[in-house]
């Protein structure tokens, strides 16, 4: 196993790595008394290896992945790896929980879990790092951030990009344990569609959701964009979450719901 090279850091209680995985830069920042120990380096290497393994299984760009074989009818779900069946079940649950606004079956290729698998893989791969004592971590991938808690009560501050001006930070979210996910059209254009109409949604520029689960924050954020302006009311039905919506008409809607 190849250990990723840490970024330079003059402090003794922090360390950082960045690698290109799953078609995007993934950053890992750790802090705490054990941050510079060998166990942390091994755990981070295992995290990146876990993401690469997930990419090999779930990539829709690799013709030999189980997802592509499943889409082509060359492989039955029952014969897929347990991870594929687990993600399939999560996608079923996400479609029900969002009234169909998160739908992994809306792709012309059939079942496509891309909208969920990144954060699922991130949470899963980070288990080795989460098991270590004396370290906290923030793992960022494609606009989503997973925060693993430590004894230091100081939260990590996660900046939220303004989709109307990506050089500007719209807000900062303090997080000590949980995840922050953002979906929208700023980086990739109008790629999120209303599954009921098939039309690209442009009335919500971005949706950011913070909550105890990064995977579900990601699902809620994607579904919020797909709902369009109706998401302004819908987000108040998501217990234990907070966040903001940036609408195309200029409004910025914030919410914070009790658990």
Shared domain for 66 and 170, answered yes or no, is no
Coil vs helix vs strand at 173 = strand
CA distance 162 to 152: 29
> Where does a domain end: 135, 152, 169?
152
Shared domain for 114 and 206, answered yes or no, is no
How many CB atoms are located within 10 Å of the residue 202 CB?
13
List C-alpha distances in Å: 240 to 9, 40, 68, 79, 205: 35, 30, 35, 37, 23
Shared domain for 108 and 23, answered yes or no, is yes
Residue 3: per-residue pLDDT: 37
CA distance 139 to 17: 10
> Where does a domain end: 152, 183, 218?
152
* CATH label of the domain that carries residue 194: 3.10.520.10
- CA neighbours closer than 13 Å in the CB half-sphere of residue 102: 27
**CA quadruple 157, 114, 254, 166: dihedral sign:** positive
Residue 12: per-residue pLDDT: 54
Residue 115: per-residue pLDDT: 92
Residue 143: per-residue pLDDT: 87
Shared domain for 175 and 120, answered yes or no, is no
In a structure prediction context, what are the per-residue pLDDT tens digits for the chain, which is 259 residues long? 333 444 444 345 899 999 999 999 999 999 999 899 999 999 999 999 999 999 999 999 999 999 999 999 999 999 999 999 999 999 999 999 999 999 999 988 999 999 999 999 999 999 999 999 989 999 999 889 999 999 999 999 999 999 988 889 999 999 999 999 999 887 776 788 888 888 888 899 999 999 999 999 999 999 999 999 999 999 999 999 999 999 999 999 999 999 8
Residue 196: per-residue pLDDT: 83
> Where does a domain end: 136, 152, 168?
152
Shared domain for 95 and 167, answered yes or no, is no
Number of domains in the chain: 2
List C-alpha distances in Å: 254 to 171, 227, 235: 11, 16, 9
With residue 225 as reference, give the H or E element that holds it.
Answer: helix 214-227
Strands (E), the chain: 6-7, 14-21, 24-31, 136-141, 144-148, 156-162, 165-175, 178-184, 204-211, 242-247, 252-256
Residue 10: per-residue pLDDT: 38
Tell me the whole-structure pTM to 2 decimals: 0.92
Shared domain for 158 and 145, answered yes or no, is no
């Amino acid at each position: 196993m190849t250990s990723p090279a840490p970024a330079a850091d003059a402090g003794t209680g922090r360390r950082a790595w960045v690698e290109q995985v799953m078609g995007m830069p993934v950053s890992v920042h750790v802090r705490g008394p054990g941050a510079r120990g060998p166990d942390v380096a091994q755990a981070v290497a295992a995290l990146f290896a876990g993401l690469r393994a997930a990419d090999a299984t779930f990539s829709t760009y690799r013709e030999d992945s189980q997802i592509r074989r499943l889409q082509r009818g060359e492989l039955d779900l029952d014969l897929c790896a347990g991870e594929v069946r687990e993600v399939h079940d999560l996608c079923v649950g996400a479609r029900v929980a969002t009234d169909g606004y998160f739908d992994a079956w809306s792709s012309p290729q059939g079942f496509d879990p891309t909208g969920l698998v990144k954060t699922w893989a991130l949470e899963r791969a980070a288990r080795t790092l989460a098991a270590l004592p004396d370290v906290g971590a923030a793992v960022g991938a494609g606009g989503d951030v997973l925060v693993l808690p430590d004894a230091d009560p100081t939260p990590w501050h996660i900046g939220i990009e303004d989709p109307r001006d990506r050089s500007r930070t719209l807000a900062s979210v303090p997080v000590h344990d949980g995840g922050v996910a953002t979906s929208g059209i700023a980086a990739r254009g109008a790629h999120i569609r209303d599954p009921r109409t098939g039309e690209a949604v442009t009335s919500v520029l971005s949706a950011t959701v913070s909550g105890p689960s990064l995977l579900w924050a990601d699902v809620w954020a994607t579904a919020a964009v797909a709902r369009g302006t109706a998401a302004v009311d819908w987000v108040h039905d998501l217990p234990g979450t907070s966040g903001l919506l940036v609408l195309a008409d200029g409004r910025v809607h914030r919410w914070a719901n009790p658990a």
